[in-house]
Amino acid sequence: MGKNERGPGWVLLGLVPLLGLGVLLAFIVLNGAGVDRTDRPPIEDLSVQRVALPTEYEFVLSVRNGGPEPVTLSQIVVNDAIWDFEAEPSSTIPRLGSATVTIPYSWVEGEAYEIVLITSNGTTFDAEVPVALLTPGFSGETFFRYALIGTYVGVIPVALGLLWYPFLRRLGSSGMNFVLALTVGLLAFLVIDTLEEAIESATELPGVFSGIPLVILVVLLTLLGLLGVGRAFRRGREEASRLGTSYRIALGIGLHNLGEGLAIGAAFALGEAALGVFLVVGFTLHNITEGVGIAAPILRERPRLAHFLWLALLGGGPAILGTWIGGFAYSNLLAAVFLAVGAGAILQVIYEVTRLLLRDSDRTKTPVLSGANLGGLTAGIAIMYATALLVSV
């Protein structure tokens, strides 16, 4: 057999370590690893992913077992009273499995509830209903209303922002650079904000999901993936098309808005309706500048009108999707992954827009950190910071 030949023997060589691993695993399973202890209580890790109040007389909990062993949910306490419940499919939840727990309880609107799960070895896990209000159910009407909210916070502000396009086009060269730098500022704020939310969702996850590493690695993979894709599309051409950059900004912003939609939908699902109103107003103001960011790279070009429609949809539309997911099927795992993808995508467009600024300064022999550029960057961050005050009260 030649050295470079890849015959059946070569495949076998690749299997050798796996074979060894199999033998080792079999040995450990059969004989133990010498670290087994039977005198310790089992490690239990239940987390309540969601508490829904679908009717005035019940709580419905989604419970996940993030521990290494099955956990049996033996009793439930609601506001210091042991209460009746039913667990589907079973009150014994396998590793990484989940159960839906229904508690018949006539809750009082507007009051707070603490729900404690007691497992078979007496360990307790808590869930909270900060404000008891009906959880909107799934119906055509709620579906439509969530879509409407998503449109208010996503599509409309982004589209309104894009309407600044004709105004911005009449700016001079340094004015346009100001807008590009402003975009970098906006995006810098958004990437930190998105990352923070991703990490917040990740910390809610059971330990086995390795939430924080997951978020960081998804951000990196998204960033590298998009950079790679961008390079592939450019092929021979030296520079990415500016319209392409706009689309990528719209995508990154879209994923960010998906995260905002998730938060708003979840707020509604938890009955925080008035909070939702406040958020809707805040996010609408907050997101209007995102349109400017999307338009910035194409100020020197004349794309067809249809492109603007698509850009608005791509940047704002995911907010609708996010509101649906957040409202009907909130999952911290999904939220963490989506938000991490969003953060990665925004990082990539920051890179692209910065490159545009760098090339421009190269071409015109002006300093990159000109007054216009620095001012734009600062203004972008300041605008986001100021409008963020509206959404974090």
Partner 1 sequence: MSEADRWGISRRDFLRTAGTLGISGALLGAYAGQAHGHNGEDHGADVAQAATGHDTSHGGNSTVGNVDTSRFDPTAFLRDFYRGEERREGGRTVREYELTAEEAEIEVAPGVMYPAWAYNGQVPGPTLRAVEGDRVRVVFKNKDAHPHTIHFHGFHPANMDGVFELVGPGQEFVYEFDAEPFGMHLYHCHTSPLRKHIEKGLYGAFIIDPKEGRPGADEIVMVMNGFDTNFDASNEVYAVNSVAFHYQKNPIEIKLGELIRAYVVNVLEFDFINSFHTHANFFDYYPTGTKLEPSEYTDTKVFGQGERGIMEFRYHFPGTFMFHAHVSEFAELGWMGLFEVKE
> Rule CB under 8 A: which residues touch partner 1?
41, 55-58, 72, 74-77, 80-86, 91, 103-106, 110, 112, 116, 118-124, 128, 130-131, 133-134, 136-137, 141, 145, 148, 200, 204, 263, 266-267, 270, 272-280, 391-393
Which positions ≥6 away from 137 have C-beta within 8 Å? 54
Q: Determine contact, residues 149/157, Cβ cutoff 8 Å.
A: no
Residue 209: Cβ within 10 Å count: 17
Whole-angstrom distance, CA of residue 87 vs CA of residue 100? 6
Nearer to partner 1, 54 or 175 (CB): 54
Instruction: Provide the angle, in degrees to the nearest 10, between the axes of the packed helices 242-269 and 211-234.
Output: 150
Nearer to partner 1, 257 or 373 (CB): 257
Residue 42: Cβ within 10 Å count: 14
Nearer to partner 1, 45 or 58 (CB): 58
Distances (CA, A) of 292 to 205, 219, 308, 310, 364: 35, 24, 12, 15, 24
Closest C-alpha to 330, from 41, 135, 87, 187: 135
Nearer to partner 1, 84 or 362 (CB): 84
Q: Determine contact, residues 354/184, Cβ cutoff 8 Å.
A: yes
Q: Least separation, in Å, of the C-beta of 111 and partner 1?
A: 10
Q: Least separation, in Å, of the C-beta of 81 and partner 1?
A: 3
* β-bridge mates for residue 63, sequence order: 48, 99
Helix (H) or strand (E) holding 86: strand 86-88
Q: Least separation, in Å, of the C-beta of 206 and partner 1?
A: 14
Q: Least separation, in Å, of the C-beta of 67 and partner 1?
A: 15
Whole-angstrom distance, CA of residue 65 vs CA of residue 53? 22
Q: Least separation, in Å, of the C-beta of 26 and partner 1?
A: 33
Q: Least separation, in Å, of the C-beta of 116 and partner 1?
A: 8
Nearer to partner 1, 115 or 350 (CB): 115
Q: Least separation, in Å, of the C-beta of 315 and partner 1?
A: 23
Q: Least separation, in Å, of the C-beta of 146 and partner 1?
A: 10
Q: Determine contact, residues 380/179, Cβ cutoff 8 Å.
A: no
Q: Least separation, in Å, of the C-beta of 212 and partner 1?
A: 15
Nearer to partner 1, 128 or 362 (CB): 128
Nearer to partner 1, 74 or 366 (CB): 74
List alpha helices for 37-86, DSSP H. Answer: none
Closest C-alpha to 102, from 65, 55, 70: 55
Helix (H) or strand (E) holding 346: helix 332-364
Dihedral (C-alpha) 168, 163, 277, 318: value to the nearest 10 degrees? Answer: -100
Length of the chain: 393
Nearer to partner 1, 124 or 210 (CB): 124
Nearer to partner 1, 141 or 239 (CB): 141
Peptide bond into 89 cis (omega under 30): yes
Region of 184 on the Ramachandran plot (φ > 0 left; ψ -120 to 50 alpha; else beta): alpha
